[in-house]
């Protein structure tokens, strides 16, 4: 698997066989007087899942250390600290100095030097290097964050994005603030293919998350049959161009989002020319004509742009994403999955399925679920708050069984010409959406 997915797998290993989170455990006790290398020997034994370890890097000079919302109780020589029900961390604290540090930060965020002076004044002998090592361990446990980026320094915007900022606060740390995630979202350009069932939900979810720019592509008019699931449209819109009305909806919803409507039928690969210029992520897909999605895959993977799409097949919802040059692309997947030529029952199932009429059975709840999952995956690529979940995989959700899901990894086809182009692009220029 690619690095992103490997990290995901490592997170899953932090669970016991029943899927419950193991408790994290940190040894921080008696750190006063220890050297940084001794502190790191004490280090992290196991972090709770849900807070993936971050890539290394230096915490900025101007950082203001903030303690995230958490609660703790003392148990003998340890503090048991909870971020949420799945994230408990044990801190060894025999002399009370760790609790003093947490309490000081809970009162107000402080620069490392300011924090050190408070601790020293209270009788805890700690130098700057030791404190930096302790903060690094707390950072890896997800307990602290850069408090200079709790918001966008604009009361109206902060109110508008209150829950977005709080959500990113679950993934922020001393090197990446919640505001920096949101800024990436607000700078991002997403091209949405299709504004029908799933597309309507994707547009609404991305607008809610504050995406900066949307290009909407479709060639369809609003029809009565759309109203079971396409909540961008009103009765008065019947007969109007979907993308025009969808763009209007976005502008009315949040005038700060730049939106472009492309009312275009994609009849051949050339029709995609110029469509993806400046895009950070492409979401959605074209149902028709046959082959259109293969053109999309080739165009975006060749340009190094991540692609997230999904669909309903009978009673199975599926979605997947392509991280160009890192994960399998849709052509790799097509080469790996069964087709009508496959032997035995699998080939038979594909052949019979191809003879069934293509009836759109997407209801509001089903379209909203797949649209939301696609938007969330797009946000992973845009902000990097988590590695992409569905890269190089197909995620299935069972409509008959409470949307129970499973993730099927797809290995890359070593002979895939499209992936080879992506690798060339990736080596020439870094993706705009990488952290
Ligand atoms: Zn490929």
| DSSP string of 258-272, one letter each residue | EEEEEE----SGGGG
Q: Which domain holds residue 96?
A: 3-149
Confidence band for 20, pLDDT divided at 50, 70 and 90: very low
Q: Tell me: pLDDT of 431 over 50.
A: no
What's the mean per-residue pLDDT of the chain? Answer: 85
Q: Do 224 and 107 fall into the same domain? A: no
Rg over CA atoms, the chain: 25
Convert the pLDDT of each residue in 144-193 to its tens digit. 999 999 999 999 999 999 999 999 999 999 999 999 999 999 999 999 99
Q: Tell me, yes or no, whether 170 lies in a domain.
A: no
Query: Which of 90, 123, 149 is the C-terminal boundary of a domain?
Result: 149
Helix axes 292-302, 417-428, angle to 10 degrees: 30
Q: Do 405 and 293 fall into the same domain? A: yes
Q: Do 198 and 286 fall into the same domain? A: yes
Q: State the average pLDDT over residues 330-341.
A: 85
Q: Tell me, yes or no, whether 434 lies in a domain.
A: no
Q: Do 108 and 233 fall into the same domain? A: no
Tally the domains of the chain: 2
Confidence band for 13, pLDDT divided at 50, 70 and 90: very low
Q: Tell me, yes or no, whether 312 lies in a domain.
A: yes
pLDDT at 426: 61
258-295: b or e for each residue (b if 16 or more CB lie within 10 Å)?
ebebbeeebeeeeebeebbeebbbbbbbbeeeeebbeb
Q: State the average pLDDT over residues 357-365.
A: 89
Q: Tell me, yes or no, whether 268 lies in a domain.
A: yes
Distance 418 CA to ligand 1 centre (A): 5
Q: Tell me, yes or no, whether 56 lies in a domain.
A: yes
- Give 434 or 231, the one with higher predicted confidence: 231
Q: Tell me, yes or no, whether 214 lies in a domain.
A: yes
Q: What are residue 2's phi and psi, to 5 degrees?
A: -75, 165
Q: Do 357 and 217 fall into the same domain? A: yes
Mean pLDDT check: name the lowest of 181-185, 341-345, 370-374: 341-345
Distance 176 CA to ligand 1 centre (A): 32
Q: Tell me: pLDDT of 375 over 60.
A: yes
Q: Tell me, yes or no, whether 280 lies in a domain.
A: yes
Q: Do 211 and 296 fall into the same domain? A: yes
Distance 330 CA to ligand 1 centre (A): 6
pLDDT at 87: 75
Distance 73 CA to ligand 1 centre (A): 51
Q: Tell me: pLDDT of 406 over 60.
A: yes
CA distance 94 to 222: 67
Q: Do 11 and 70 fall into the same domain? A: yes
Confidence band for 287, pLDDT divided at 50, 70 and 90: confident
Distance 99 CA to ligand 1 centre (A): 52
Q: Do 134 and 209 fall into the same domain? A: no
Q: Tell me, yes or no, whether 181 lies in a domain.
A: no
Distance 159 CA to ligand 1 centre (A): 42
Query: Which of 149, 177, 200 is the C-terminal boundary of a domain?
Result: 149
Q: Do 290 and 340 fall into the same domain? A: yes
Query: Which of 119, 149, 179 is the C-terminal boundary of a domain?
Result: 149
Which residue, among 12, 32, 31, 9, has the nearest Cα to 22 in the 3D structure? 12
Distance 386 CA to ligand 1 centre (A): 23
Q: Do 352 and 402 fall into the same domain? A: yes
pLDDT at 41: 42
CA dihedral 166, 172, 174, 176 (to 10 degrees): -110
Q: State the average pLDDT over residues 346-375.
A: 91
**In this structure, what CATH number is given to the domain that contains residue 268?**
3.40.50.720
Q: Do 63 and 193 fall into the same domain? A: no
Q: Do 20 and 126 fall into the same domain? A: yes
Distance 413 CA to ligand 1 centre (A): 6
Distance 412 CA to ligand 1 centre (A): 6
Convert the pLDDT of each residue in 49-79 to its tens digit. 333 344 444 455 578 999 999 999 999 888 9
Residue identified by tokens 């029709």 is 271
Q: What are residue 158's phi and psi, to 5 degrees?
A: -65, -35
pLDDT at 125: 87
């Amino acid at each position: 698997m690619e690095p992103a997915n490997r990290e995901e797998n490592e997170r899953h290993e932090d669970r016991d066989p029943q899927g419950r989170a193991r408790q994290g455990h940190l040894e921080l006790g008696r750190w006063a007087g220890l050297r940084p290398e001794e502190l790191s020997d004490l280090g992290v034994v196991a972090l709770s899942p849900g807070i993936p370890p971050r890539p290394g890097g230096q915490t900025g000079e101007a950082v203001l250390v903030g303690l995230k919302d958490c609660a703790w109780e003392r148990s003998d020589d340890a503090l048991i600290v909870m971020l949420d029900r799945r994230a408990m961390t044990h801190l060894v604290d025999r002399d009370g100095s760790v609790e003093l540090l947490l309490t000081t930060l809970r009162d107000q965020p402080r620069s490392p030097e300011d924090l050190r002076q408070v601790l020293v004044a209270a009788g805890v002998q700690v130098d700057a290097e030791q404190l930096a090592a302790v903060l690094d361990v707390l950072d890896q446990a997800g307990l602290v964050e850069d408090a200079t980026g709790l918001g966008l320094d604009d009361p109206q915007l902060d109110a508008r994005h209150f829950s977005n900022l709080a959500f990113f606060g679950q993934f922020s740390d001393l090197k990446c603030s919640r505001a920096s995630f949101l800024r990436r979202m607000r700078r991002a350009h997403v091209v949405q293919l299709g504004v029908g069932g799933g597309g309507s939900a994707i547009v609404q979810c991305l607008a809610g998350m504050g995406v900066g720019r949307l290009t909407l592509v479709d060639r369809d008019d609003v029809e009565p049959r759309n109203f079971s699931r396409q909540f961008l449209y009103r009765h008065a819109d019947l007969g109007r161009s979907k993308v025009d009305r969808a763009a209007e909806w976005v502008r009315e919803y949040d005038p700060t989002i730049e939106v472009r409507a492309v009312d275009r039928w994609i009849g051949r690969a050339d029709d995609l020319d110029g469509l993806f210029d400046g895009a950070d992520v492409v979401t959605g897909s074209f149902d028709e004509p046959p082959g259109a999605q293969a053109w999309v895959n080739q165009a975006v993977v060749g340009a190094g742009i991540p692609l997230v799409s999904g669909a309903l097949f009978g009673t199975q919802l599926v979605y997947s994403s392509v991280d160009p040059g890192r994960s399998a692309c849709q052509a790799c997947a097509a080469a790996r999955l069964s087709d009508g030529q496959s032997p035995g029952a699998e080939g038979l199932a594909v052949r019979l399925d191809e003879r069934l009429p293509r009836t759109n059975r997407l209801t509001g709840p089903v379209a909203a679920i797949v649209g939301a999952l696609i938007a969330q995956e797009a946000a992973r690529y845009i902000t990097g708050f988590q590695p992409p979940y569905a890269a190089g995989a197909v995620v299935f959700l069972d409509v008959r069984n409470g949307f129970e899901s499973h993730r099927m990894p797809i290995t890359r086809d070593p002979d895939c010409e499209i992936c080879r182009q992506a690798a060339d692009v990736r080596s020439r220029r870094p993706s705009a959406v990488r952290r």
